[in-house]
Amino acid sequence: MKRFFHIIRNKYVLAILIFIVWVGFLDRNNLILTFKTRNSIKELKKNKAYYLSEIEETKRVKFELLNNRKTLEKFARETYYMKKPGEEIFIVEEE
C-alpha cells in the first residue's frame, strides 16, 4: 500500500493519470463520445450500402419500364389498376 502511494506521488505518474482522466471523461472529445461516434458511423455506412443497392434496383426497374412495353403495361395494371377499353377489373383482397 505504501508503494502504491509512493508511485502516485511521483509527479510524472500523477500528470499521466490526470491526463488519462481528462481525455477519457472530461474532454469535449472524450473516449465515450468517440466510441459512440464510431458506432454511428458504422451504422450509417451500412445504411448507405443498403440505399445504394436500392437505388440500383430502382434504376433497373425504371430501365425495364421505359424500354419494354409489356413490362410497363403490367406495372400500370398491377399498381394503378389501369385497363384497356372494354375490359373489366376485379380486385381480390386476401385476408
Chain centroid to CA 8: 45
Cα 59 to Cα 76: distance, rounded to the nearest angstrom: 17
In a domain, 88, yes or no: no
In a domain, 89, yes or no: no
- Count the domains in the chain: 1
pLDDT in tens, 44-83: 999 999 999 999 999 999 999 999 999 998 888 888 888 8
* Residue 28, domain extent: 2-80
In a domain, 58, yes or no: yes
Nearest to 91 by CA among 25, 27, 83: 83
Total residue length of the chain = 95
In a domain, 22, yes or no: yes
Quick one: pLDDT at residue 4?
A: 66
Longest Cα pair distance anywhere in the chain, in angstroms? 100
